[in-house]
Copies of this chain bind each other. A is one copy, B any other.
Amino acid sequence: MTGAARIALAPLTSDFLEQAITGAGARLSELSDARALVWDGGPNGFPDLPESIEWVQLYSAGVEEFFDAGIFERHPNVVFTSAAGAFAKSVAEATMALLLAGVRYLPEHIRAHSWRQTEFFPHIGTLRGATVAVVGAGGIGREVIAMLEPFGARVIAVNRSGRPVDAPNVVETIPAERISEVWARTDHVVVAAPATDGTRHLIGKDELTQLKPHSWVINVARGSLIDTEALVAALREGAVGGAGLDVTDPEPLPDGHPLWDLPNVIITPHDSNPPQLRTAAFAEHVAANVTRFVQGRELIARIDPEAGY
């Protein structure tokens, strides 16, 4: 390689990201002259890439909208990487906040205006000895599994391959094609799998029926993975204990939607990874990938256009 790799940053620039790129050994340049592009915007306005571009780093973990816009199809010779994993720690922390709030009956505590100890006692559960199904053992799932460990929760991990997830508290790893075995065996469910055609309505009426009256369902992936109507029905009937939703379907969830009024639902409006936490995490991710690019090593979070994420 002669000289530093030239990388373009668009549509927005920031000192944070410029430093991440140059600090990792690359040089900032115009797109027309660059070997790589760090694109910190959405699919609208995504440029026609010059032939010199080998790699594009995107700014989100989920990249359905780029698929829908045909951007990968238009650039079959370019390696795209997502930000998958970069935001995993913040989203995993939000997942734990939702799960613990649910298991510990915090919504009703927060609404209380008097000392209702004996009334609350029987509703308080624990993660200790409980089984948590972590559906999708990518970046977020793995962080959640690590966070669950000191709480004494057993994990059933679900991933595409069924290749065992290596963590002390994972009691079993089940391949996605056998996910139907999971529902009756778990206390709680954390959904952290990518949104693909294959995962739409992964959790519907049949799945919810097999869960337990104390089960909490946490979704930090995409709203479409859960059949909202079936979830509302299951919550109303007490088939499950509650739901913690960072993502919804539809999203944004419109005013007046029944989910807003259910007492055992916590909605965090897709804010598990707010801007002030994103910036630092994305810069760290960019620096790691630029370092790898400069050194000719394999990039983190490479998008597989065939798999759909």
Q: Are A93 and B128 in contact (CB under 8 A)?
A: yes
A268 within 8 A of B: yes
Residues of B within 8 A of A116 (CB): 269
Interface of chain A, main secondary structure: helix
Q: Are B126 and A90 in contact (CB under 8 A)?
A: yes
Q: Are A260 and B113 in contact (CB under 8 A)?
A: yes
Binary contact track A264-284/B, C-beta < 8 Å → 1, others 0: 001111110011110000000
| Interface window among A28-36, A46-54, A144-152, A289-297 | A144-152
A124 within 8 A of B: yes
Q: Are A121 and B271 in contact (CB under 8 A)?
A: yes
In residues 246-278 of chain A, which contact B (Cβ within 8 Å)? 252-255, 260-261, 266-271, 274-277
In residues 69-122 of chain A, which contact B (Cβ within 8 Å)? 89-90, 93-94, 96-98, 100-101, 103-104, 106-107, 109-117, 120-122
Residues of B within 8 A of A126 (CB): 90, 93, 277
Q: Are B115 and A106 in contact (CB under 8 A)?
A: no
Query: Interface residue count for A (Cβ, 8 Å)?
Result: 52
Q: List 24 A-B contacts (CB under 8 A).
A: A93-B151, A96-B96, A97-B100, A97-B106, A98-B106, A104-B268, A106-B268, A110-B111, A112-B269, A113-B255, A114-B255, A115-B253, A115-B254, A117-B270, A120-B269, A120-B271, A120-B274, A121-B271, A121-B274, A121-B275, A122-B274, A126-B277, A128-B277, A150-B150
